[in-house]
Chains A and B, each alone.
Chain A
Amino acid sequence: MALLEVREVTKKFGELVANDRVSFTVETGTIVGLIGPNGAGKTTLFNCITGLYPADGGAIHFDGREITALKPYEIARRGAVRTFQVVRPLKEMTVFDNVLVGAFLKTGDRRAAAARAEECLSICNLTSFRDRPAGGLPIGGKKRLEMARALATRPKLLMLDEVMAGMTSTEINASVEVILRLRDSGITLMIVEHVMEGIMPIADKVVVLDGGIKIAEDAPGNIVNDERVIEAYLGPKYSQRFKARREGADLG
C-alpha cells in the first residue's frame, strides 16, 4: 500500500509554475529519491506535502487519509515529518533541547522524551555536541541536527531535504548508513538530493523533477540511463554526445 500518494499537485508562484501536475507514490517501507537540477521544484513539493504552502491544485493522501488542506503541525502529528534544506536550528536552545522538542510529539513524559532524544543524538552522531547551543554548530552538525530532530518525532515518513549537501564524503557515508538503518527499522523515507550519487545506491525508486514537471519515476538503475534525465542534468549537447558514445559502445 502507498503510504504517500501525490496526485496532480500544482504550485504556482505568480507566473512561475514550480510544481506542474506532479503525481507519484511512496510505498511503505521503501526509500524514494526525489532528484532534479536546482530550481526543479523539489523543496516546493516538500513544502506542499507538509502543508507549509497550500497547493494550487491536486490532492495529497497520507496513510489512507487526505492531508491536502491540513496545517503543518497536523501533518507532522500524523507522521509525515521533514527537514529543512536551509537549516533551521532553534538557535538559542541546546542541541539536546532541539531534539527534545521533536521527541515531545509522541510523549508528554519528560523522561521518555529525554531517552528518545538521547537515542536520536547517538544515531545521528551528535552526542558530543549535546549541550552546545544549536546556533553554534558547524553546518554538517546542523544538517545532522535537522535529521535527529525530525527522527525524534518517531515519524512514519521521514522527508529529508538535501541533508547530505555540504557534508564531507565521510559524513555522507555515515549518513547513508544511518538512512539504511532507519529504513530497516520500518521508517519510510523520501529523500531529496541534488547530487545523484548520494541517493542512487540506496533508493528503491527515484522520481525526477525538471522545471516543475515529473520527467521520470523508475528504479535507480533505469533512471541513470534515461535520456530525459541525462538531458535535464547535463543539457542537450552533452546528452547527445553521451547517447552517441553509448551507441558507439553498443556497436563495439
Chain B
Amino acid sequence: MNPKEANRVLGKDGPWLVFAALLFVMPFVPFVGENSFRMHIMILILLFAAMSQAWNIIGGYCGQVSFGHSVFFGIGAYGAGMAVVAYGVPPWPGILTGMIVAAAVAVIISWPCFKLSGHYFAIATFAIVEIFNRGFLVWDWVGGALGLDYPLVEEGLWNLMWHDSKTGYYYCALVLFLITFGLVRWLEGHRFGYYLRAVREGQETAESLGVNSTAVKLAAMALSAALAALCGAFFVQYNLRVDPPMVMSLDMSMKFVLITVLGGSGTLVGPLLGATVLIPLQEYSRALWGGLGGGVDLIVFGLLIIIIVVKQPAGIIGIIRDIGKHAARRRAAGKEEADHGAP
C-alpha cells in the first residue's frame, strides 16, 4: 500500500476505529456506571446500529427497501429461543440454525419479489411480516401467542446469559456492532460492494457491464437476513423472552428502516448515527410518556423522519457533510479575503 492510499484508508477508518476503541473502555468509566439505565441504552444503541447496518446492505447499498426484516430478526430470536427453551441447550446451535433459515427464507421470499420493481417490492415485503406474525401466533411448537419464556440457567458466555450485570451483554452487543460494521466496511472496498451500489443506481446499466443483478440482490438479501437473525438472537438473549409481536412486527421493521434513513442510508456510519439519535429518544420518551400507551416512540420517530426527509434527504450524514462543505467554503473565502487584503 502506498502512503497516499494508506492515508485515504486511515482517513476513512480512523474516526470509527477510535470510536470503537472508546466503546470498549466505556463500561469502565464511572460516569456510565454498572446496570444503569444508561447501560441499557448503550446496549440498545449498539444492537440497533448493528441491526440497521444489516438492513443497510440490502436497503441502503443495494437500494431494495425491505419492510420485511423483522421476520429475519424474529427467526433468529426464535432460533436461539427454541434451543434454550425447547431443547434446554445453549443458544449457539439455535443461533446458527436461525441465521441459515433466515437466509433461506429471505432468498425464497425475495425471488418472486425482486421481479417487482421499486415501490411494489417494498409493499410485498409489508405483507410478509403480517403472514409470519400470524403464522407464529398460531404455531404451538414455538409457543404460539404466549411465546417462549427463558428458564434461568448458569450465567456466562456459554449460555449467553447474565443475571445481575449488564456488562456481558454490553460486550456482546459491541461484538455484534463490530461484526456488522467491519463486514460492511470490507464490502465497500470489494467487487460485491460496488456491484450492490451499481444495481441500486441502475439495474440495466449494471447488467450491461456483466453484473448478474438478480444474483447480487439475492446474495445481499441472504447476507442481510443472516445478520438480522444474529441480531435477533442477541435480542432474545437480552430480553429472556420472545413472542411474535415483540420481534415480527411492522413496528420493528420500521425501526430498522427509519434508523438507517435518518442516519444516512447506503453509508457506513449512517446506522450508527441514526441509532445514537433514535434509541435514546425512544427509551426516554417511553420512560416519560409510557403511561400514554404504546406507540409514543413511533410518533416521535415519525416526526423526526418527516423533518429529516423534508430538510435533508441524505440524513444526518448529509447534514454533517453540508456543515463540512460550508466550513470549507468559509475557510476558502476567508483565505481569499486575506490574499486580497495583502498588499
Contacts and interface: CB of A to CB of B under 8 A. Distances in A.
Contact of B211 (A50, A82, A91, A101): A101
A129 B197 CA distance: 20
Interface string A40-58: 0000000000101000000
Contacts of A90: 197-198, 201-202, 205-206
Interface residues of A, number: 27
B209 A76 contact: yes
B206 A101 contact: yes
A24 interface: no
A104 B194 contact: yes
Contact of B201 (A73, A93, A113, A153): A93
Given A101-B194, A104-B195, A110-B189, A82 B208 contact: yes
A100 interface: yes
Nearest to B201: A90
A50 B189 CA distance: 29
Contacts of A81: 208-210
B190 interface: yes
Interface in B196-248: 197-198, 201-202, 204-213
B189 A77 contact: no
A73 B205 CA distance: 10
DSSP majority for the B interface?
helix
Nearest to B63: A92
A72 B201 CA distance: 17
Contacts of B206: 73, 90, 101
Contact of A110 (B190, B195, B205, B213): B190
Interface string A90-133: 11110001001110110010100100000000000000000000
B215 to A, nearest CB: 9
Contacts of B190: 108, 110
A82 B210 CA distance: 11
Given A104-B191, A113-B191, A76 B208 contact: yes
Contacts of B202: 88, 90
Contacts of B209: 73, 76, 81, 101-102, 105, 149-150, 153
Nearest to A76: B210
A97 B205 contact: no
Contacts of B194: 97, 100-101, 104
A245 interface: no
A92 B195 CA distance: 13
Contacts of A110: 189-191
A103 B201 CA distance: 17
A242 interface: no
A153 B194 CA distance: 14
A72 B208 contact: yes
Given A90-B202, A93-B197, A101-B198, A76 B191 contact: no
A97 B197 contact: yes
B267 to A, nearest CB: 11
A201 to B, nearest CB: 28
B191 A153 contact: no
Given A90-B201, A92-B201, A93-B197, A72 B191 contact: no
B75 to A, nearest CB: 31
Contacts of A71: 207, 212
Given A77-B210, A101-B209, A105-B209, A72 B189 contact: no
A73 B207 contact: yes
Contacts of B189: 110
A101 B208 contact: no
A101 B201 CA distance: 12
Interface in B258-299: 266
Given A90-B198, A97-B197, A50 B208 contact: yes
A233 interface: no
Nearest to B198: A101
A90 B197 CA distance: 8
Which 5 pairs show the lowest CB-CB distances between chains A and B?
A90-B201, A76-B210, A105-B210, A72-B207, A88-B205
17 contacts: A52-B208, A71-B207, A72-B207, A73-B213, A76-B207, A77-B210, A81-B210, A82-B208, A84-B205, A88-B204, A90-B198, A92-B197, A101-B194, A101-B195, A101-B206, A108-B190, A150-B209
Given A72-B204, A149-B209, 15 more contacts: A73-B206, A73-B207, A82-B208, A84-B208, A90-B198, A90-B205, A92-B201, A92-B266, A97-B197, A101-B209, A104-B195, A108-B191, A150-B208, A150-B209, A153-B209
